[in-house]
Amino acid sequence: MVKDKDIAKVLSLLPPTASYYFTQAQIPRAMPVEELRIKAASFQLSGNAYPNVNLAIAAAKAVADKRDLILVCGSVFVIGEVNR
């Protein structure tokens, strides 16, 4: 998420039963990951914070079952940083 957008509407749509791996894009407009995690907690969304998207994905993969889905979402800047 970028820090100059109202993210409350987006956060309100996310399921509180999911596991979250919060991160931020490596751009100046990025909302600091800890700020995102705190805002998400106000919507009962919990998870750990990671300094970059690939560490967050690695953490998710480390605990994922074969039947789990790992969904990467956020700004296009975050998606652009995913290693293939």
pLDDT in tens, 10-48: 999 999 999 999 999 999 999 999 999 999 999 999 999
Listed residue (12, 11, 71) closest to 35, CA to CA: 11
How much is the pTM? Answer: 0.89
Instruction: DSSP letter for 43, please.
Output: T
Judge whether residue 3 has pLDDT over 90. Answer: no
Q: Is 42 among the domain residues?
A: yes
Q: Is 1 among the domain residues?
A: no
Q: Is 53 among the domain residues?
A: yes
Q: Is 2 among the domain residues?
A: no
Q: Is 3 among the domain residues?
A: no
Q: For residue 78, what are the contacts with CB-CB under 8 A and spacing of at least 6?
A: 23, 24, 25, 53, 72
Domain extent, residue 25, equals 8-80
pLDDT tier for residue 54 given thresholds of 50, 70 and 90? very high
Q: Is 62 among the domain residues?
A: yes
